[in-house]
């Protein structure tokens, strides 16, 4: 896809959203069902992914770790966003690798230490590119990728999350 093809696809959407801002609001959903043992089966839209405990918390490593899934979502979103921005800017990318890594102190999630955070303390996102762009364009590409990547912005902005639980009591 080139810049003109991308504009042809996105211009009517952008015009629609400018004219009717409510048309740009979508609710994305994810759903999972508790599985056997300590697991949750998540419907990805393409397949069923089974998530479980990380080996550092007692898992056997046979199921996906939700921390890995978060980093994978960041890699996927950042990669797609970078590709779209590069296309829009006319930057040709011959090859690109997207990496995300994050640091976890499992003492927090296991309740071993109240001082240890639950969750990632640091996440690093990097791109290794082979392209036709000079350093100034590459910095613009990074800046716009950070700005428009949904997962990056959600993680970095500390988005408010509300949780609730509904319980239907069963008799044993």
| Tokens at 124, concatenated | 């690093």
pLDDT at 53: 87
- Assigned domain for 163 exists: no
Nearest to 106 by CA among 56, 150, 37: 56
Give the CATH number, domain containing residue 139.
3.30.300.20
- Assigned domain for 47 exists: yes
Q: Give me the domain span that covers residue 9.
A: 3-157
- Assigned domain for 55 exists: yes
- 51 within 8 A of 42, measured Cβ to Cβ: yes
- Assigned domain for 61 exists: yes
- Assigned domain for 168 exists: no
Burial 18-55 (b: 16+ CB within 10 A, else e): eeeeeeeeeeeeeeeeeeeeebebbeeeeeeeebbbbe
pLDDT at 47: 80
- Assigned domain for 171 exists: no
Domain count along the chain: 1
Tokens 């089966």 — which residue? 41
pLDDT at 113: 86
pLDDT at 150: 95
pLDDT at 143: 97
* pLDDT tens for the 172 residues of the chain, in order: 888 888 898 899 989 888 998 888 887 777 777 777 777 788 777 788 889 988 888 888 888 888 989 999 999 999 999 999 999 999 999 999 999 999 998 889 888 888 988 989 899 999 999 999 999 999 999 999 999 999 999 999 989 999 999 999 988 7
Tokens 């350093």 — which residue? 135
Q: Mind spelling out the 3-state secondary structure of the chain?
A: CCHHHHHHHHHHHHHHHHHCHHHHCCCCCCEEEECCCCEEEEECCCCEEEEECCHHHCCCCCCECHHHHHHHHHHHHHHHHHHHHHHHHCCCEEEEEEEEEEEECHHHHCCCCCCCCCCEEEEEEEEEEEECCCHHHHHHHHHHHHHHCHHHHHHHHCCCCCCCCCCCCCCC
pTM, to two decimals: 0.84
């Amino acid at each position: 896809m080139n810049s003109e093809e991308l504009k042809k696809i996105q211009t009517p959407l952008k015009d629609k959203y400018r004219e009717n801002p409510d048309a740009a609001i979508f609710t994305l959903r994810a759903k999972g069902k508790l599985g056997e043992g300590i697991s949750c089966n998540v419907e990805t839209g393409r397949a069923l992914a089974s998530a479980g405990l990380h080996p550092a918390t007692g898992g056997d490593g046979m199921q996906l770790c939700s921390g890995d899934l978060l980093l994978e979502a960041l890699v996927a979103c950042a990669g797609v966003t970078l590709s779209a921005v590069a296309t829009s800017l006319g930057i040709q990318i011959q090859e690109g690798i997207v990496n995300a890594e994050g640091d976890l102190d499992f003492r927090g999630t296991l309740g071993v230490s109240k001082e240890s955070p639950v969750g990632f303390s640091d996440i690093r996102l990097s791109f290794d590119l082979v392209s036709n762009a000079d350093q100034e364009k590459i910095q613009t590409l990074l800046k716009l990728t950070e700005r428009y990547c949904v997962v990056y912005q959600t993680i970095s902005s500390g988005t408010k999350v509300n949780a609730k639980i509904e319980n239907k009591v069963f008799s044993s």
